[in-house]
């Protein structure tokens, strides 16, 4: 019996083929998710599903007989319940009608067991999604802050470089102005002796006049 045949087998009891297909999908999905997360799914009278860790070991290739190292892995395992075993072995007979292969869960027991396992798996998945979203948001904020800091540093460097260039230009201009003013002072200094010579000539003329 495959999945489609299983759906057809319970379609009449579920009220339609689509409802039966949805029920089978939901049950299998819940079992798989619970086992993957490390939970044990137990159905009284039917069996239990659980995750088993296998350590690293050596095995032999059946075709070549070569010894091969097998890595550590995890595998799903199903253990049949006692009621299932008794029916398969023939110690108990299947009734012609009714659902007696699996015992019905007592009232109030659905709050635990497989139902609780399914809820835990869903809660873990939701928490993992929230944690991933929070990490992405923090990473985006950190990246944006880093970009802003880099932009500020670049702007500061540009401003410092521009200030240095401006200061250098001012210093060069001041030196040139000083250099131009210096010769004028020297020329003024040279003209001063000429006045002294004129004064000497005037004194000489006065002396000559007195002698006459």
Radius of gyration of the chain (CA): 51
> Residue 107's CB: how many other CB atoms inside 10 A?
6
What is the rounded CA–CA span in Å between residue 61 and residue 67?
6
Query: What's the per-residue H, E or C state across 22-77?
Result: HHHHHHHHHHHHHHHCCCCEEECCCEEEEEEEECCEEEECCCCCCEEEECCEEEEE
DSSP annotation of 94 reads P
The mean-pLDDT minimum among 65-79, 125-139, 155-169, 189-203 falls in 189-203
The mean-pLDDT minimum among 35-44, 72-81, 129-138 falls in 129-138
Outline which parts of the chain fall under CATH 4.10.520.10.
44-96
Q: Over the chain, what is the mean pLDDT?
A: 76
Short-list 103, 111, 93, 7, CA closest to 47: 103
**Which structure tokens are listed for 72?**
């550590």
Query: What's the per-residue H, E or C state across 99-167?
Result: CCCCCCCCCCHHHCHHHHHHHHHHHHHHHHHHHHHHHHHHHHHHHHHHHHHHHHHHHHHHHHHHHHHHH
Q: What is the pLDDT of residues 13-33, one digit of tens each?
A: 899 999 999 999 999 999 999
Class of domain 44-96: few secondary structures
For residue 200, name the pLDDT band (cuts at 50, 70, 90).
low
* SS3 state at 115: helix
Q: Is the pTM of this model over 0.85?
A: no
Whether 87 and 101 have beta carbons less than 8 Å apart is answered as: yes
Whether 157 and 79 have beta carbons less than 8 Å apart is answered as: no
Residue 164: exposure state from Cβ atoms within 10 A (0-12, 13-18, ≥19): exposed
How much is the average pLDDT of 156-180? 73
């Amino acid at each position: 019996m495959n999945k489609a045949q299983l759906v057809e087998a319970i379609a009449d009891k579920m009220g339609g083929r689509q409802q039966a297909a949805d029920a089978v999908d939901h049950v299998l999905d819940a079992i798989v998710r619970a086992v993957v997360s490390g939970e044990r799914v137990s159905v009284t009278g039917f069996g239990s599903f659980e995750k088993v860790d296998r350590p690293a070991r050596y095995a032999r290739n059946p075709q070549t007989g070569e010894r091969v190292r097998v890595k550590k892995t995890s595998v799903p395992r199903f253990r049949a319940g006692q009621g299932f075993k008794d029916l398969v072995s023939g110690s108990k007979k299947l009734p012609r009608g009714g659902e007696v292969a699996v015992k019905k869960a007592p009232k109030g027991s659905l709050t635990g067991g497989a139902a609780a396992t399914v809820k835990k798996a869903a809660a873990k998945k939701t928490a993992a999604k929230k944690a991933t979203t929070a990490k992405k948001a923090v990473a985006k904020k950190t990246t944006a802050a880093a970009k802003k800091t880099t932009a500020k540093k670049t702007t500061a460097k540009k401003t410092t470089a521009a200030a240095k260039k401006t200061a250098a230009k001012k210093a060069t201009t001041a030196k040139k102005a000083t250099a131009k003013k210096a010769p004028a002072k020297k020329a003024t200094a040279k003209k001063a002796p000429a006045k002294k010579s004129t004064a000497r000539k005037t004194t000489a003329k006065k002396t000559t006049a007195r002698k006459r």
